[in-house]
Amino acid sequence: MTTDPARLELLSALARKVLWLSSWTIHHANHIRPNVDGLKVGGHQASSASLATIMSALYFSVLRPQDRVAVKPHASPVFHAIQYLFGHQTREKLQNFRGFKGAQSYPSRTKDVDDVDFSTGSVGLGVAQTLFASLVQDYVKAHGWARDRVEGRMIALVGDAEMDEGNIFEALLEGWKHGLRNTWWVVDYNRQSLDAVVREGLWEKFETMFRNFGWDVVIVKYGNLMRKAFAEPGGGALKKWIDECPNQLYSALCFQGGAAFRRHLRDEIGDQGAVSQLIDRRSDAELLELMSNLGGHDMASMCEAFEAIAHDRPVCFIAYTIKGIGLPFQGHKDNHAGLMTVAQMEKWRSLQNIRPGHEWDKFEGLSQDATALEAFLADAPFNREGRRRLTAPYIDVPERLSFTPSPQMSTQQGFGLLLNEIARGDSELAARIVTASPDVTVSTNLGAWVNRRGLFARAEKADLFRSEKIPSTFNWDASPRGQHIELGIAEMNLFILMSALGLSHTINGERLLPVATLYDPFIERGLDALNYACYQDARFMVAATPSGVTLAPEGGAHQSIATPLIGMAQDGLASFEPAFVDELAVIMAFGFRYMQREEGEGGSIYLRLSTRSIDQVQRMMTPDLQSAITEGAYWLRKPGPNAEVVIAYTGAVAPEAIEAVGLLGESRRDIGLLAITSADRLHAGWTAARKLRRDRRGVQHLSHIEKLLAPLPRECGIVTVLDGHPATLAWLGSVRGHRAEALGVEHFGQTGTIDDLYRHHGIDANAIIDAAESLTAGAPVRHRKMAV
Ligand X SMILES: Cc1ncc(C[n+]2csc(CCOP(=O)(O)OP(=O)(O)O)c2C)c(N)n1
C-alpha to C-alpha distances, 745 to 166, 564, 565, 653, 760, nearest whole angstrom? 31, 11, 12, 12, 9
Q: Quick one: three-class SS letters along 241-279? A: HHHHCCHHHHHHHHHHCHHHHHHHHHHHHCCCCHHHHHH
- The least distance separating ligand X from the CB of residue 154, rounded to whole angstroms, comes to 19
- The least distance separating Mg ion from the CB of residue 192, rounded to whole angstroms, comes to 5
Residues whose CB falls within 8 Å of the CB of residue 654, separated by 6 or more in sequence, listed in order = 579, 580, 614, 675
Residues whose CB falls within 8 Å of the CB of residue 460, separated by 6 or more in sequence, listed in order = 477, 478, 479, 480
Residue 194 binding target from Mg ion, ligand X, none, CB below 5 to 8 Å by type: ligand X
> Taking the chain, what is the end-to-end CA distance rounded to the nearest angstrom?
81
Output 323 or 683, the one with its CB closest to ligand X.
323
Output 47 or 677, the one with its CB closest to ligand X.
47
Pairing of strands 645-650, 633-637: unpaired
Site for ligand X in 335-354 (CB under 6 A): 336
Residue 170 interacting with ligand X (CB under 6 A): no
Q: How many residues does the chain have?
A: 788
- The least distance separating Mg ion from the CB of residue 327, rounded to whole angstroms, comes to 15
Q: Quick one: three-class SS letters along 128-195? A: HHHHHHHHHHHHHHHCCCCCCCCCCCEEEEEEHHHHHCHHHHHHHHHHHHCCCCCEEEEEEECCECCC
Site for ligand X in 193-222 (CB under 6 A): 193-194
Residues whose CB falls within 8 Å of the CB of residue 694, separated by 6 or more in sequence, listed in order = none
Output 30 or 383, the one with its CB closest to ligand X.
30
- Does residue 5 have a cis bond before it (omega within 30 degrees)? no
List, in sequence order, every residue forming a beta bridge with 436; answer none if it has no partner.
Answer: 485, 516
- Specify whether the backbone of 159 is left (phi greater than 0), alpha (psi in -120 to 50) or beta: beta
Separation of alpha carbons 171 and 497, rounded Å: 9
Output 160 or 770, the one with its CB closest to Mg ion.
160
Q: Is the Cα torsion angle 723, 727, 729, 733 positive or negative in sign?
A: positive
Site track for ligand X across 33-72, x = CB under 6 A = ----------x---x--x----------------------
* Residue closest to ligand X when measured from CB atoms: 159
Residue 677 binding target from ligand X, Mg ion, none, CB below 5 to 8 Å by type: none
Using the contact rule CB under 6 A, the part of the chain among 189-197, 340-348, 519-527, 716-724 near ligand X is 189-197
Site for Mg ion in 178-197 (CB under 5 A): 190, 192
Helix (H, G, I), strand (E, B) or coil at 219: strand
For Mg ion, the binding residue among 159, 502, 632, 733 (CB under 5 A) is 159
C-alpha to C-alpha distances, 788 to 258, 745, 756, 759, 770, nearest whole angstrom? 85, 22, 10, 12, 18
Residue 188 interacting with ligand X (CB under 6 A): yes
Helices (H) and strands (E) in the chain, counts: 34, 20
Q: Quick one: three-class SS letters along 62-99? A: HCCCCCEEECCHHHHHHHHHHHHHHCCCCHHHHHCCCC
For Mg ion, the binding residue among 112, 138, 151, 160 (CB under 5 A) is 160
Residue 73 binding target from ligand X, Mg ion, none, CB below 5 to 8 Å by type: ligand X
Using the contact rule CB under 6 A, the part of the chain among 127-135, 190-198, 612-620, 626-634 near ligand X is 190-198
Separation of alpha carbons 503 and 512, rounded Å: 8
Site for ligand X in 69-108 (CB under 6 A): 73-74
Using the contact rule CB under 6 A, the part of the chain among 160-168, 352-360, 471-479, 560-568 near ligand X is 160-168
- The least distance separating Mg ion from the CB of residue 131, rounded to whole angstroms, comes to 20
Tell me the backbone φ, ψ of residue 514, rounded to 5 degrees. Answer: -75, 140
- The least distance separating ligand X from the CB of residue 660, rounded to whole angstroms, comes to 45
Residue 159 interacting with ligand X (CB under 6 A): yes
Using the contact rule CB under 6 A, the part of the chain among 192-200, 345-353, 404-412, 634-642 near ligand X is 192-200
Output 22 or 192, the one with its CB closest to Mg ion.
192
Output 172 or 279, the one with its CB closest to ligand X.
172
- The least distance separating ligand X from the CB of residue 187, rounded to whole angstroms, comes to 9
Residue 248 interacting with ligand X (CB under 6 A): no
Query: Edge-to-edge, what's the strand order for the sheet holding 672-676?
Result: 633-637, 672-676, 645-650, 717-722, 740-743
For ligand X, the binding residue among 61, 190, 563, 678 (CB under 6 A) is 190
Separation of alpha carbons 199 and 218, rounded Å: 20
Residue 123 interacting with ligand X (CB under 6 A): yes
Using the contact rule CB under 6 A, the part of the chain among 159-167, 268-276, 303-311, 510-518 near ligand X is 159-167
Separation of alpha carbons 73 and 98, rounded Å: 13
Output 192 or 536, the one with its CB closest to Mg ion.
192
Helix (H, G, I), strand (E, B) or coil at 345: helix
Residue 335 binding target from Mg ion, ligand X, none, CB below 5 to 8 Å by type: none
Output 167 or 559, the one with its CB closest to ligand X.
167
- The least distance separating Mg ion from the CB of residue 193, rounded to whole angstroms, comes to 5
- Interface with ligand X (CB under 6 A): 43, 47, 50, 73-74, 122-123, 159-162, 188, 190, 192-194, 323, 336
- Interface with Mg ion (CB under 5 A): 159-161, 190, 192
